[in-house]
Amino acid sequence: MPDIAAVKAALAAQRIETPSWGYGNSGTRFKVFAQPGVPRDPYEKLDDAAEVHARTGVAPKVSLHIPWDRVDDYAALAAHAKERGLELGAINSNTFQDDDYRLGSVCHPDPKVRRKAVDHLLECVDIMDATGSTDLKLWFADGTNYPGQDDIAGRQERLAESLAEVYARLGDDQRILLEYKLFEPAFYTTDVPDWGTAYAHCLKLGPKAQVVVDTGHHAPGTNIEFIVALLLREGRLGGFDFNSRFYADDDLMAGAADPFQLFRIMHEVIAGGGLDAAAGISFMLDQCHNVEAKVPAVIRSVMNVQEATAKALLVDADALAAARRSGDVLAANAVLMDAYATDVRPLLRELREEQGLDPDPVAATLRSGRLERVAAERVGGAQAGWGA
Ligand code: AOS
Ligand code: ZN
Ligand code: ZN
Protein backbone atom coordinates (compact mmCIF):
# COMPACT_ATOMS: atom_id res chain seq x y z
CA MET A 1 0.00 0.00 0.00
CA PRO A 2 1.20 3.54 -0.69
CA ASP A 3 2.90 5.26 2.23
CA ILE A 4 0.59 8.07 3.40
CA ALA A 5 3.45 10.32 4.51
CA ALA A 6 4.95 10.06 1.02
CA VAL A 7 1.56 10.76 -0.55
CA LYS A 8 1.21 13.88 1.59
CA ALA A 9 4.73 15.02 0.78
CA ALA A 10 4.04 14.67 -2.96
CA LEU A 11 0.79 16.62 -2.61
CA ALA A 12 2.51 19.37 -0.63
CA ALA A 13 5.22 19.63 -3.28
CA GLN A 14 2.89 19.79 -6.30
CA ARG A 15 2.64 23.20 -7.96
CA ILE A 16 -0.46 24.30 -9.84
CA GLU A 17 -0.19 27.41 -12.01
CA THR A 18 -3.24 29.65 -12.31
CA PRO A 19 -4.09 31.83 -15.35
CA SER A 20 -4.28 35.62 -15.07
CA TRP A 21 -7.24 35.60 -17.46
CA GLY A 22 -9.23 33.38 -15.08
CA TYR A 23 -9.48 36.35 -12.69
CA GLY A 24 -10.88 38.83 -15.21
CA ASN A 25 -14.32 39.17 -16.71
CA SER A 26 -14.97 36.74 -19.51
CA GLY A 27 -17.83 35.29 -21.45
CA THR A 28 -18.86 33.86 -24.74
CA ARG A 29 -19.34 35.60 -28.07
CA PHE A 30 -22.90 36.23 -26.87
CA LYS A 31 -22.19 38.13 -23.67
CA VAL A 32 -19.51 38.99 -21.16
CA PHE A 33 -21.06 39.21 -17.71
CA ALA A 34 -19.23 41.72 -15.54
CA GLN A 35 -18.67 40.71 -11.92
CA PRO A 36 -18.10 43.12 -9.04
CA GLY A 37 -14.55 43.34 -7.75
CA VAL A 38 -12.70 41.89 -10.73
CA PRO A 39 -9.11 43.09 -11.12
CA ARG A 40 -8.55 46.34 -12.97
CA ASP A 41 -4.99 45.56 -14.02
CA PRO A 42 -2.40 42.76 -13.99
CA TYR A 43 -1.25 43.78 -10.51
CA GLU A 44 -4.71 43.15 -9.09
CA LYS A 45 -4.92 39.84 -10.97
CA LEU A 46 -1.80 38.83 -9.06
CA ASP A 47 -3.45 39.93 -5.81
CA ASP A 48 -6.30 37.52 -6.56
CA ALA A 49 -3.85 34.76 -7.45
CA ALA A 50 -2.12 35.40 -4.12
CA GLU A 51 -5.41 34.72 -2.34
CA VAL A 52 -5.69 31.38 -4.17
CA HIS A 53 -2.15 30.50 -3.14
CA ALA A 54 -2.65 31.65 0.45
CA ARG A 55 -5.70 29.39 0.79
CA THR A 56 -4.33 26.31 -1.00
CA GLY A 57 -0.56 26.54 -0.49
CA VAL A 58 0.11 24.97 -3.89
CA ALA A 59 -0.56 27.72 -6.44
CA PRO A 60 2.42 30.10 -6.35
CA LYS A 61 2.74 30.53 -10.13
CA VAL A 62 0.65 32.68 -12.43
CA SER A 63 0.51 32.50 -16.23
CA LEU A 64 0.40 35.83 -18.03
CA HIS A 65 -1.06 36.68 -21.39
CA ILE A 66 0.39 39.31 -23.68
CA PRO A 67 -1.14 41.80 -24.54
CA TRP A 68 -3.89 41.34 -21.94
CA ASP A 69 -1.28 41.70 -19.18
CA ARG A 70 0.93 44.27 -20.88
CA VAL A 71 2.62 46.63 -18.41
CA ASP A 72 5.39 49.21 -18.71
CA ASP A 73 7.69 47.52 -16.26
CA TYR A 74 7.72 43.71 -16.17
CA ALA A 75 10.43 43.61 -13.53
CA ALA A 76 8.12 45.65 -11.29
CA LEU A 77 5.29 43.19 -11.98
CA ALA A 78 7.60 40.29 -11.08
CA ALA A 79 8.57 42.13 -7.89
CA HIS A 80 4.88 42.63 -7.05
CA ALA A 81 4.40 38.88 -7.53
CA LYS A 82 7.36 38.09 -5.31
CA GLU A 83 6.10 40.34 -2.51
CA ARG A 84 2.94 38.25 -2.51
CA GLY A 85 4.76 34.92 -2.46
CA LEU A 86 4.15 34.34 -6.16
CA GLU A 87 6.26 33.98 -9.28
CA LEU A 88 5.36 34.65 -12.87
CA GLY A 89 4.82 31.52 -14.92
CA ALA A 90 4.21 30.88 -18.60
CA ILE A 91 3.96 33.81 -20.96
CA ASN A 92 1.04 33.19 -23.32
CA SER A 93 1.29 34.86 -26.70
CA ASN A 94 -1.61 36.29 -28.67
CA THR A 95 -1.55 36.20 -32.44
CA PHE A 96 -5.28 36.02 -32.91
CA GLN A 97 -6.88 39.32 -31.97
CA ASP A 98 -5.64 41.72 -34.64
CA ASP A 99 -7.39 42.29 -37.97
CA ASP A 100 -4.09 41.38 -39.64
CA TYR A 101 -4.56 37.79 -38.47
CA ARG A 102 -7.79 37.13 -40.42
CA LEU A 103 -6.01 34.47 -42.51
CA GLY A 104 -3.60 33.35 -39.82
CA SER A 105 -0.48 34.56 -38.07
CA VAL A 106 2.72 32.49 -38.32
CA CYS A 107 1.13 30.50 -41.18
CA HIS A 108 -0.32 33.54 -42.98
CA PRO A 109 0.39 33.63 -46.72
CA ASP A 110 1.71 37.22 -46.47
CA PRO A 111 5.28 37.39 -45.13
CA LYS A 112 4.57 40.84 -43.60
CA VAL A 113 1.91 39.35 -41.32
CA ARG A 114 4.18 36.44 -40.44
CA ARG A 115 6.89 38.97 -39.54
CA LYS A 116 4.49 40.82 -37.24
CA ALA A 117 3.47 37.55 -35.56
CA VAL A 118 7.04 36.34 -35.06
CA ASP A 119 8.04 39.77 -33.72
CA HIS A 120 5.29 39.44 -31.13
CA LEU A 121 6.59 36.01 -30.11
CA LEU A 122 10.11 37.42 -29.82
CA GLU A 123 8.73 40.25 -27.67
CA CYS A 124 7.21 37.57 -25.43
CA VAL A 125 10.69 36.07 -24.96
CA ASP A 126 11.99 39.56 -24.04
CA ILE A 127 9.23 39.70 -21.43
CA MET A 128 10.28 36.28 -20.13
CA ASP A 129 13.79 37.64 -19.69
CA ALA A 130 12.38 40.49 -17.59
CA THR A 131 9.99 38.39 -15.51
CA GLY A 132 12.16 35.31 -15.07
CA SER A 133 9.51 33.15 -16.75
CA THR A 134 10.87 30.01 -18.35
CA ASP A 135 7.92 29.00 -20.51
CA LEU A 136 6.64 30.52 -23.75
CA LYS A 137 3.22 29.00 -24.33
CA LEU A 138 2.15 29.12 -27.94
CA TRP A 139 -1.36 28.55 -29.12
CA PHE A 140 -2.08 29.43 -32.73
CA ALA A 141 -5.55 30.18 -33.99
CA ASP A 142 -4.22 29.59 -37.51
CA GLY A 143 -6.18 27.53 -39.99
CA THR A 144 -8.54 27.73 -42.93
CA ASN A 145 -12.30 27.60 -43.34
CA TYR A 146 -12.67 26.23 -46.85
CA PRO A 147 -11.04 23.54 -48.98
CA GLY A 148 -8.67 25.23 -51.38
CA GLN A 149 -8.32 28.38 -49.25
CA ASP A 150 -4.60 27.85 -48.72
CA ASP A 151 -1.83 25.33 -49.20
CA ILE A 152 -1.92 22.94 -46.22
CA ALA A 153 1.72 21.80 -46.55
CA GLY A 154 2.87 25.35 -47.33
CA ARG A 155 1.33 26.55 -44.09
CA GLN A 156 3.25 23.83 -42.20
CA GLU A 157 6.44 25.11 -43.80
CA ARG A 158 5.71 28.69 -42.71
CA LEU A 159 4.91 27.45 -39.21
CA ALA A 160 8.18 25.54 -39.01
CA GLU A 161 10.20 28.56 -40.16
CA SER A 162 8.51 30.89 -37.69
CA LEU A 163 8.95 28.49 -34.79
CA ALA A 164 12.62 27.98 -35.66
CA GLU A 165 13.26 31.73 -35.44
CA VAL A 166 11.63 31.91 -32.01
CA TYR A 167 13.40 28.78 -30.82
CA ALA A 168 16.76 30.29 -31.75
CA ARG A 169 16.00 33.27 -29.50
CA LEU A 170 15.34 31.14 -26.36
CA GLY A 171 17.76 31.33 -23.45
CA ASP A 172 19.30 28.22 -21.92
CA ASP A 173 16.58 27.87 -19.28
CA GLN A 174 13.68 28.81 -21.51
CA ARG A 175 11.42 26.55 -23.51
CA ILE A 176 8.55 26.59 -25.95
CA LEU A 177 5.34 24.88 -24.89
CA LEU A 178 3.40 24.24 -28.08
CA GLU A 179 -0.31 23.78 -27.70
CA TYR A 180 -2.62 22.00 -30.14
CA LYS A 181 -6.34 22.33 -30.61
CA LEU A 182 -8.68 20.31 -32.77
CA PHE A 183 -10.61 23.22 -34.26
CA GLU A 184 -11.82 26.76 -33.59
CA PRO A 185 -11.61 29.48 -34.68
CA ALA A 186 -10.82 27.76 -37.99
CA PHE A 187 -13.28 25.09 -39.05
CA TYR A 188 -11.78 23.27 -42.05
CA THR A 189 -8.08 22.92 -41.27
CA THR A 190 -6.23 23.93 -38.15
CA ASP A 191 -2.46 24.27 -38.47
CA VAL A 192 -1.67 22.65 -35.11
CA PRO A 193 -4.73 20.44 -34.61
CA ASP A 194 -3.33 17.53 -32.63
CA TRP A 195 -0.50 16.21 -30.47
CA GLY A 196 1.17 14.55 -33.45
CA THR A 197 1.56 17.82 -35.34
CA ALA A 198 2.81 19.60 -32.23
CA TYR A 199 5.19 16.74 -31.47
CA ALA A 200 6.59 16.71 -35.03
CA HIS A 201 7.36 20.43 -34.84
CA CYS A 202 8.87 20.11 -31.36
CA LEU A 203 11.10 17.23 -32.50
CA LYS A 204 12.44 19.32 -35.37
CA LEU A 205 13.03 22.33 -33.14
CA GLY A 206 15.02 20.58 -30.44
CA PRO A 207 14.90 19.63 -26.75
CA LYS A 208 13.66 23.02 -25.58
CA ALA A 209 10.33 22.53 -27.37
CA GLN A 210 7.64 20.48 -25.70
CA VAL A 211 3.95 19.82 -26.16
CA VAL A 212 1.28 21.18 -23.83
CA VAL A 213 -1.92 19.18 -23.46
CA ASP A 214 -5.03 21.30 -23.01
CA THR A 215 -7.67 18.86 -21.82
CA GLY A 216 -10.41 20.75 -23.70
CA HIS A 217 -8.76 20.53 -27.11
CA HIS A 218 -9.65 17.03 -28.27
CA ALA A 219 -12.41 15.27 -30.13
CA PRO A 220 -15.00 13.65 -27.86
CA GLY A 221 -13.86 10.22 -26.76
CA THR A 222 -10.14 10.89 -27.28
CA ASN A 223 -8.00 8.93 -24.83
CA ILE A 224 -6.03 11.85 -23.43
CA GLU A 225 -4.11 9.75 -20.91
CA PHE A 226 -2.64 7.75 -23.78
CA ILE A 227 -1.30 10.96 -25.32
CA VAL A 228 0.08 11.93 -21.91
CA ALA A 229 1.84 8.59 -21.42
CA LEU A 230 3.35 8.72 -24.90
CA LEU A 231 4.60 12.31 -24.70
CA LEU A 232 6.00 11.74 -21.22
CA ARG A 233 7.87 8.66 -22.40
CA GLU A 234 9.34 10.67 -25.27
CA GLY A 235 10.40 13.49 -22.95
CA ARG A 236 8.14 15.92 -24.80
CA LEU A 237 5.35 16.53 -22.32
CA GLY A 238 5.85 20.12 -21.20
CA GLY A 239 2.68 20.53 -19.24
CA PHE A 240 -1.07 20.81 -19.08
CA ASP A 241 -3.75 23.37 -19.58
CA PHE A 242 -6.33 21.82 -17.28
CA ASN A 243 -9.99 22.64 -17.71
CA SER A 244 -13.25 20.78 -18.29
CA ARG A 245 -15.27 20.32 -21.41
CA PHE A 246 -18.74 19.04 -22.08
CA TYR A 247 -18.82 19.94 -25.78
CA ALA A 248 -15.76 21.71 -27.21
CA ASP A 249 -13.21 24.10 -25.70
CA ASP A 250 -15.55 24.96 -22.85
CA ASP A 251 -12.85 26.17 -20.40
CA LEU A 252 -14.92 25.14 -17.38
CA MET A 253 -13.35 24.32 -14.01
CA ALA A 254 -10.83 21.47 -14.10
CA GLY A 255 -12.26 18.26 -12.71
CA ALA A 256 -15.85 19.48 -12.96
CA ALA A 257 -17.01 17.58 -16.04
CA ASP A 258 -14.97 14.40 -15.83
CA PRO A 259 -13.03 13.90 -12.61
CA PHE A 260 -12.35 10.29 -13.61
CA GLN A 261 -10.49 11.47 -16.72
CA LEU A 262 -8.40 13.82 -14.60
CA PHE A 263 -7.57 10.91 -12.30
CA ARG A 264 -6.57 8.72 -15.26
CA ILE A 265 -4.35 11.50 -16.59
CA MET A 266 -2.68 11.98 -13.20
CA HIS A 267 -2.20 8.23 -12.91
CA GLU A 268 -0.19 8.21 -16.15
CA VAL A 269 1.76 11.30 -15.05
CA ILE A 270 2.73 9.61 -11.79
CA ALA A 271 3.49 6.28 -13.45
CA GLY A 272 5.83 8.10 -15.84
CA GLY A 273 7.62 10.04 -13.10
CA GLY A 274 6.01 13.31 -14.18
CA LEU A 275 5.08 14.50 -10.71
CA ASP A 276 8.71 14.96 -9.70
CA ALA A 277 9.67 18.62 -10.03
CA ALA A 278 12.73 17.50 -12.01
CA ALA A 279 10.44 16.27 -14.81
CA GLY A 280 9.52 19.89 -15.49
CA ILE A 281 5.84 19.25 -16.13
CA SER A 282 3.77 22.40 -15.64
CA PHE A 283 0.34 21.82 -14.16
CA MET A 284 -1.46 24.88 -15.42
CA LEU A 285 -5.11 25.82 -15.40
CA ASP A 286 -6.59 27.40 -18.51
CA GLN A 287 -10.13 28.36 -17.70
CA CYS A 288 -12.57 31.22 -17.56
CA HIS A 289 -15.28 31.77 -14.99
CA ASN A 290 -18.15 33.35 -16.84
CA VAL A 291 -21.01 32.85 -14.41
CA GLU A 292 -19.39 31.75 -11.14
CA ALA A 293 -17.35 33.74 -8.61
CA LYS A 294 -13.80 33.72 -9.91
CA VAL A 295 -11.41 33.38 -6.96
CA PRO A 296 -13.49 30.61 -5.29
CA ALA A 297 -13.75 28.88 -8.70
CA VAL A 298 -9.98 28.92 -9.17
CA ILE A 299 -9.56 27.57 -5.63
CA ARG A 300 -12.10 24.82 -6.36
CA SER A 301 -10.21 23.93 -9.55
CA VAL A 302 -6.89 23.72 -7.72
CA MET A 303 -8.55 21.45 -5.15
CA ASN A 304 -9.98 19.27 -7.92
CA VAL A 305 -6.50 18.80 -9.40
CA GLN A 306 -5.20 17.99 -5.92
CA GLU A 307 -7.96 15.42 -5.37
CA ALA A 308 -7.25 13.70 -8.69
CA THR A 309 -3.54 13.70 -7.85
CA ALA A 310 -4.17 12.30 -4.36
CA LYS A 311 -6.28 9.46 -5.75
CA ALA A 312 -3.66 8.67 -8.36
CA LEU A 313 -0.97 8.65 -5.65
CA LEU A 314 -3.08 6.13 -3.72
CA VAL A 315 -2.96 3.60 -6.55
CA ASP A 316 -1.30 0.50 -5.10
CA ALA A 317 1.53 0.18 -7.62
CA ASP A 318 2.70 -3.20 -6.31
CA ALA A 319 -0.77 -4.74 -6.44
CA LEU A 320 -1.25 -3.25 -9.91
CA ALA A 321 2.04 -4.67 -11.17
CA ALA A 322 1.23 -8.10 -9.71
CA ALA A 323 -2.22 -8.14 -11.30
CA ARG A 324 -0.77 -7.12 -14.64
CA ARG A 325 1.98 -9.75 -14.45
CA SER A 326 -0.53 -12.49 -13.80
CA GLY A 327 -2.83 -11.24 -16.53
CA ASP A 328 -5.61 -10.57 -14.05
CA VAL A 329 -7.49 -7.90 -15.92
CA LEU A 330 -10.25 -7.50 -13.36
CA ALA A 331 -7.84 -7.23 -10.44
CA ALA A 332 -5.74 -4.63 -12.26
CA ASN A 333 -8.80 -2.57 -13.04
CA ALA A 334 -9.99 -2.96 -9.44
CA VAL A 335 -6.73 -1.50 -8.11
CA LEU A 336 -7.33 1.65 -10.13
CA MET A 337 -11.02 1.86 -9.27
CA ASP A 338 -10.31 1.37 -5.55
CA ALA A 339 -7.97 4.34 -5.59
CA TYR A 340 -10.43 6.43 -7.57
CA ALA A 341 -13.27 5.55 -5.20
CA THR A 342 -11.28 6.66 -2.14
CA ASP A 343 -12.55 9.82 -0.51
CA VAL A 344 -9.32 11.83 -0.34
CA ARG A 345 -10.91 14.94 1.10
CA PRO A 346 -10.09 14.03 4.72
CA LEU A 347 -6.45 13.45 3.73
CA LEU A 348 -6.24 16.83 2.01
CA ARG A 349 -7.97 18.57 4.92
CA GLU A 350 -5.44 17.01 7.27
CA LEU A 351 -2.55 18.08 5.04
CA ARG A 352 -3.80 21.67 4.97
CA GLU A 353 -4.17 21.74 8.75
CA GLU A 354 -0.61 20.44 9.10
CA GLN A 355 0.49 23.33 6.86
CA GLY A 356 -1.38 25.87 8.97
CA LEU A 357 -4.06 26.36 6.31
CA ASP A 358 -7.80 26.29 6.69
CA PRO A 359 -8.95 22.76 5.79
CA ASP A 360 -11.71 24.21 3.59
CA PRO A 361 -10.11 26.82 1.28
CA VAL A 362 -13.33 27.85 -0.49
CA ALA A 363 -15.21 28.39 2.78
CA ALA A 364 -12.20 30.25 4.17
CA THR A 365 -12.06 32.78 1.36
CA LEU A 366 -15.84 33.29 1.43
CA ARG A 367 -15.78 33.72 5.21
CA SER A 368 -12.90 36.20 5.08
CA GLY A 369 -15.04 38.93 3.51
CA ARG A 370 -12.36 39.47 0.87
CA LEU A 371 -14.82 39.23 -2.02
CA GLU A 372 -16.94 42.04 -0.56
CA ARG A 373 -13.88 44.12 0.27
CA VAL A 374 -12.39 44.02 -3.22
CA ALA A 375 -15.83 44.63 -4.74
CA ALA A 376 -15.97 47.90 -2.79
CA GLU A 377 -12.37 48.83 -3.61
CA ARG A 378 -12.24 47.96 -7.27
CA VAL A 379 -14.59 49.79 -9.51
CA GLY A 380 -14.60 49.14 -13.26
CA GLY A 381 -12.80 45.79 -13.45
CA ALA A 382 -11.17 44.65 -16.64
CA GLN A 383 -12.26 42.08 -19.13
CA ALA A 384 -10.00 39.05 -19.32
CA GLY A 385 -9.64 39.35 -23.06
CA TRP A 386 -11.77 36.45 -24.20
CA GLY A 387 -15.05 37.65 -25.71
CA ALA A 388 -13.61 41.12 -26.08
C1 AOS B 1 -6.95 28.55 -26.63
O2 AOS B 1 -7.95 27.88 -26.94
C3 AOS B 1 -5.92 28.00 -25.77
O4 AOS B 1 -6.48 27.10 -24.86
C5 AOS B 1 -4.95 28.91 -25.05
O6 AOS B 1 -4.14 28.13 -24.23
C7 AOS B 1 -5.44 29.87 -24.05
O8 AOS B 1 -6.77 29.84 -23.79
C9 AOS B 1 -4.88 31.22 -24.31
O10 AOS B 1 -3.51 31.16 -24.53
C11 AOS B 1 -5.18 32.18 -23.20
O12 AOS B 1 -4.29 33.15 -23.23
ZN1 ZN C 1 -5.07 26.29 -23.46
ZN1 ZN D 1 -8.42 26.44 -25.28
- Domain borders along the chain are 15-315+365-377
Residue with the smallest CA separation from ligand 1 atom 5 is 139
Phi-psi map region of 189: left, alpha, beta (phi>0 left; psi -120 to 50 alpha): beta
What residues pair up with 252 in beta bridges, in sequence order? 244
104 phi and psi angles, rounded to 5 deg: 120, 180
pTM across the whole model = 0.97
Give Rg (Cα) of the chain.
Answer: 21
What residues pair up with 136 in beta bridges, in sequence order? 91, 176
Burial of 257 (0-12, 13-18, 19+ CB in 10 A): middle
- For residue 63, the ligand 1 atom closest to its alpha carbon is 12
Residue with the smallest CA separation from ligand 1 atom 10 is 92
> Which residues are near ligand 1 (CB < 6 Å)?
21, 65, 92, 139, 179, 181, 214, 241, 249, 286
ipTM of this predicted structure: 0.96
Q: In whole angstroms, give the CA distance from residue 224 to residue 218.
A: 8
CATH topology of domain 15-315+365-377: TIM Barrel (3.20.20)
Per-residue pLDDT band for 380 (boundaries 50, 70, 90) equals: confident
Substitution site in 23, 26, 92, 127 for ligand 1 pocket (most atoms within 8 Å of beta carbon): 92
Rounded to the nearest angstrom, the distance between the alpha carbon of 352 and the centre of ligand 1 is 31
For residues 75, 81, 82, 87, the Cα torsion angle rounded to the nearest 10 degrees is -90
Cβ atoms of 264 and 223 closer than 8 Å: no
pLDDT in tens, 252-293: 999 999 999 999 999 999 999 999 999 999 999 999 999 999
Percentage with pLDDT > 90 across the chain? 97
> How many DSSP H helices and E strands does the chain contain?
14, 10
Q: Which runs of consecutive H residues, i.e. helices, occur in 206-360?
A: 224-233, 259-271, 294-313, 317-325, 329-341, 345-354
Ligand number nearest CA of 97 is 1
pLDDT in tens, 207-222: 999 999 999 999 999 9
Q: How many CB atoms lie within 10 A of CB 82?
A: 13
